[in-house]
Amino acid sequence: MDGTHVRAMLASIQSAAVLGVDAFAVTVEVDAAPGLPGWTMVGLPSGSVKEARERVGAALANAGLQLPPRRWTVNLSPADVRKDGTAFDLPVALGALVASGQLSADAVAGLLCVGELGLDGAIRPIRGALPLARAARACGARALVLPAANAAEAALLRDVRLAPCASLAELVLHLRAGSLPAPPAPAASPVTAADACLSEVVGQPVAKRALELAAAGGHNLLLVGPPGAGKTMLARRLPSILPPLDDDALLEVVAVHSVGGILPTDRAPTRTPPFRAPHHTISLPGLIGGGPGPRPGEVSLAHRGVLFLDELLELPRYVLDAMRQPLEDARVTIVRAAQSVAFPARFLLVGAANPCPCGQDGEPSNRCRCSAAEIQRYRARLSGPLADRIDLHVRIGAVKLAALGDMAREETSASVAVRVAAARARQSARYAVLPGVRLNGEAPGRWLQQHGLLTSEAKSLLGDAADRLRLSARAYHRTLRVARTVADLDGEERIGTGAIAEALLFRAGDSQEHG
């Protein structure tokens, strides 16, 4: 057997696999040997990868191509790393065509190919197109061949040549002609208009001020009040005062949502910050991440946006406490026996809870019949260490029915958003020297003590209050961060006693509820 014939029976196609929010290069080797027809796939493929055999065979036949009766062996290299997903369907199909002599090896040289195949030969969307585009750039591929439905996502990386295709038959025609499908036209990422305005919330000025502080500085917020007081209504209007995602944040969010399988493929990714509101029956893997793959949880899907936990105290305590590390480190690391995967988790936590099991404790109606022990057990579901990581604790009461019809004097989300954007611009300039820090809520406490421009009177007030309220070092620094945000919203260069007093007002709620 001459060397030319040996090469014709062995094909090598470049591809990639997603791991966390990154991707690594995978070489798909396809060997077509004479002998009893069969199919073997090696290289630690998962069940979904092994099923490529059935999809590839039917897709080739329905695209007018052939899969000759050979002894087929497919190897996914590196062979010691587990491969998951359906993105290897397309490179396996192209490898089979090259190995059987139906396609020239030069036609696929330098291409990185990913895509799931339908039985009719359609190239269907996959998860993780943006990380895969990064992998194509890293390995110097001349083009990334991918499903047409994933083109808008991958096009966010403007320095990667894309070759989107809707069907296997169309792609093979291009490759046989020595050409590639045309890259997609660049599309601007829209900002989805908020469907709710802050002016729709009547009253609750303290809660609205807390919402503004949370949006401006990236501070976690807890709203406590009776049913019907407007806690959920307030939280759902927080995105309406947040600024759009910048280019870096957009790439981070799109990567997580793509890997999580929740990114729409029918339009360009939006610059609106994500807002996630899972039900209080959510499991630990659903909140933190895990499962096969593993997949990102809600804390990561809310990255650079808002995670709203309604009925916060109805969640099991062990599920709530699992957020302590992501809130501190802004990332989640999921460790498995053979691998470790990290997901970003820099989110703004907003919780809503009743003050007691019946929800009426502290209300003027005096309708609460919960015992002191029941109230204590109920509030103890929020542990001290987690409460310590929540900067703004707000107790709100029910709004009088007579006030519900008067919305004319309420401030709109648009006017609040202007102040939030201005405060964030001041923070961006301040933290330009600190890599990875954008907001006051992310600033190192020690750095803020040295460079936060705290007046001597304000420093003395904060120290005295910390002793009186028995604040931890973490709570001390978080109070200082909130005060810095108050000063930024007021356009003040230095943190004065007024800013400290307002920050302590929101921290004092923590002592009252959990002290």
- Least confident window among 185-189, 234-238, 399-403, 487-491: 399-403
The H or E element containing residue 287 is: helix 284-288
| Helix axis angle, 413-430 to 473-489, nearest 10° | 120
Which is nearest to 83 in space by CA: 43, 112, 113, 53? 43
Pairing of strands 162-165, 143-147: parallel
The pTM of this model reads 0.90
Assign 73 a pLDDT band (cuts: 50, 70, 90). Answer: very high
Question: Other CB atoms closer than 10 Å to residue 481's CB: what's the count?
Answer: 24
What per-residue confidence (pLDDT) applies to 405? 60
Q: Are 108 and 94 in contact (CB under 8 A)?
A: yes
What region does 105 belong to: left with phi over 0, alpha with psi -120 to 50, or beta?
Answer: alpha
Residue 137 to residues 140, 161, 287, 320, 394, Cα–Cα distance (Å) = 5, 9, 32, 39, 47
Place of tokens 């542990």: 383
The lowest-confidence range among 51-55, 183-187, 231-235, 437-441 is 183-187
Question: What is the CB neighbour count within 10 angstroms for residue 264?
Answer: 12
**Rounded Cα gap, residues 62 and 120, in angstroms:** 5
Q: Please name the residue that has the structure tokens 């022990």.
A: 373
Answer for the pair 108, 175: CB distance below 8 angstroms, yes or no: yes
The Cα–Cα gap between 416 and 317 comes to 35
Name which of 304-318, 391-405, 466-480, 484-498 the model is least confident about.
391-405
Confidence of residue 497 (pLDDT cuts 50, 70, 90): very high
Q: Is the pLDDT of residue 406 over 80?
A: no
Nearest to 56 by CA among 28, 86, 92: 92
Neighbour count for residue 450 (Cβ, 10 Å): 10
CA 236 to CA 309: how far, in whole Å? 11
Domains of the chain: 3-176 (3.30.230.10), 198-412 (3.40.50.300), 443-515 (1.10.8)
Cβ neighbours, 10 Å, residue 449: 14
Q: What CA–CA distance (Å, rounded) separates 449 from 459?
A: 9
Strand partners, 289: 296
> Above 90 in pLDDT, residue 404?
no
Cα→Cα distances 369→225, 341, 359, 363, Å: 16, 48, 10, 12
Secondary structure (DSSP) of 417-431: HHHHHHHHHHHHHHG
What pLDDT, in 10s, does the model give residues 467-484?
998 888 999 999 999 999
Residue with the bigger pLDDT between 381 and 361: it is 381
Say what the pLDDT of residue 1 is: 38
Give the C-alpha separation, 86 to 312, whole Å: 37
CA angle 484/487/493 to nearest 5° reads 95
